[in-house]
Amino acid sequence: MKKTPPKQRYSPAPPPVISQLVTPPVTSQLVTLPATSPVTSQLAALPVTSQLAVLPVTSQLATLPVTSQLVTLRDWLVFAEDVYERAGLALGQIATSAHDEALYLLLRTLGWPLDSDASALERRIEPAQRIKLREVLRRRVVERVPAAYITREAFLGGNRYYVDERVLIPRSYFLELIPGRLDLWLPDGGKKVRRVADVCTGSGCLAIELAHHFPKARVDAIDLSPDALEVAKINVRAHNLTRRVNLYRSDVFDALPPPGAEAKAKAGMGAAETGMAGTGTAGAGAVVGTEAENGKYDMILSNPPYEPSKICDKLPEEFQKEPRLALDGGKDGLDIIRKLLAQARERIAPHGIVVIEAGGLRRAMERTFGGLGLHWLRTKDGSDCVCLAQAKRLQAARF
Ligand SMILES: C[S@@+](CC[C@H](N)C(=O)[O-])C[C@H]1O[C@@H](n2cnc3c(N)ncnc32)[C@H](O)[C@@H]1O
């Protein structure tokens, strides 16, 4: 049945796409569209593509002529949405709907503003632009390259981050927790936070969000992957935070100086080996307060790899394009979390908190770390998969 394309779903301002790009789904909650879905009515409304509708999606792209009758951005959007659906592309890395992701990708490829008003949909696509759009869709649909790796960017809240294949695409639940929700657990509503660790920093996005939220804090951003740290370095520089965000290459806290080493060094007792990746200068004037000087953290935060290995093996192709090291938490998913909690004991200040995103591991965490009195923080989507442990319980507990 032939229907007209749907009416505008492209709302003009505030920025229509970006505001929807950063819902934080986790890999265990992927929104995967069905692999075989009927040809949509929109596609049938397009003269050229309707003739291609019976072909598998990859051959559609291969045969789509440059001079196709996809005339306007709207035509391309409708086409792209349909191709997304029929190819069963996995979503959830930068957007949870094909519409949002495809529109973002098209606008970025054209170099048009993401907050273009709705009239952009009626703009004609020139032949040279068609070639670019076609190539981008080919990479996304046929090669299954995640959109963020094509555009080399991802958004977390209002902040833009450089990303590429060396890092997980930012989509953490911490986006909704860092701006205010963790402060309640800290003395003076977080005003005295001077020292924070972001363990498993990847692109550095959470370390940077933390540095923005706690303007007097120094943030130690830790990752095992030198590749990821290279990306983090780009982001730390772009956000002008090299004085406050220090990058360390380390397996959790293994390579960091022991707590107190810095104070001793300052007091002339010898410098500690730091293993720093070298974007910042540790203790660059922002660190004050006894606990901070002792190298203890007010907060240790982490979005670690937490998928059980078997789940990683079965992830959709797009997610397998992300570094395995960023996703794979070992047999039960808890490898890094176990180590982190054990090492956090001696690094957290007595008033401090440890906050960990744990995906689908809530039950396993309760079973394994029952004595910690974990608090599960509420998240908008109801998954409540970020837990918080207070220093005193952590230090007293056996696990
Ligand atoms: C889920 S990603 C999180 C990245 C970033 N924090 C975010 O939220 O987008 C996990 C990161 O942990 C790092 N990682 C894996 N094992 C690690 C370990 N043993 N010690 C430190 N970092 C590790 C990976 O390289 C990856 O960058």
256-296 pLDDT, tens digit per residue, is 998 888 767 776 654 333 344 444 433 332 333 455 557 89
* pLDDT value at residue 58: 64
Residue 200 CB–ligand 1 contact under 6 Å: yes
Atom 10 of ligand 1: nearest residue by CA position: 326
> What is the position in ligand 1's atom list of the atom closest to the CA of 206?
6
* pLDDT value at residue 291: 55
Residue 299 near residue 293 (C-beta atoms within 8 A): no
Task: Write b or e for each residue in 146-185: b if 16 or more Cβ atoms lie within 10 A of its Cβ, otherwise e.
Answer: bbbbbbebbbbbebebbbeebbbbbbbbbbbbbeebbbeb
Look at 145 and 270; give whichever has higher pLDDT: 145
> What is the position in ligand 1's atom list of the atom closest to the CA of 174?
8
Mean pLDDT of the chain: 82
The answer as to CATH 3.40.30.10 being correct for domain 172-396 is no
Residues carrying CATH 3.40.50.150, the chain: 172-396
> What is the position in ligand 1's atom list of the atom closest to the CA of 228?
27
Atom 14 of ligand 1: nearest residue by CA position: 200
Atom 27 of ligand 1: nearest residue by CA position: 202
Q: Is residue 35 predicted with pLDDT exceeding 80?
A: no
* pLDDT value at residue 44: 26
Place of tokens 């959109």: 147
Find the mean pLDDT for residues 197-219. 98
Find the mean pLDDT for residues 147-163. 96
Atom 9 of ligand 1: nearest residue by CA position: 170
CB-based burial of residue 273 (10 Å sphere; 0-12 exposed, 13-18 middle, 19+ buried)? exposed
* pLDDT value at residue 137: 96
* pLDDT value at residue 20: 40
Six-digit token string for 178: 């860092």
Find the mean pLDDT for residues 116-144. 95
> What is the position in ligand 1's atom list of the atom closest to the CA of 336?
19
Residue 227 near residue 163 (C-beta atoms within 8 A): no
CA 195 to chain centroid: 23
The tens digit of pLDDT for each residue in 82-108 reads 999 999 999 999 999 999 999 999 999
Q: Is residue 336 predicted with pLDDT exceeding 60?
A: yes
* pLDDT value at residue 287: 33
> φ, ψ for residue 91 (rounded to 5)?
-110, 175
* pLDDT value at residue 284: 31
Range among 8-12, 177-181, 282-286 rated most confident? 177-181
Q: Is residue 247 predicted with pLDDT exceeding 90?
A: yes
* pLDDT value at residue 48: 31
Least confident among 152-156, 242-246, 280-284, 392-396: 280-284
Under the banding of pLDDT at 50, 70 and 90, the label for residue 222 is very high
The tens digit of pLDDT for each residue in 48-61 reads 333 333 445 666 66
* pLDDT value at residue 57: 63
Query: What's the gap in Å between 86 CA and the centre of ligand 1?
Result: 33
| Pocket perturbation via mutation, ligand 1, pick of 223, 312, 315, 347 by most ligand atoms within 8 A of CB | 223
Residue 211 CB–ligand 1 contact under 6 Å: no
Pairwise CA distance, residues 94 & 109, whole Å = 16
Query: What's the gap in Å between 223 CA and the centre of ligand 1?
Result: 6
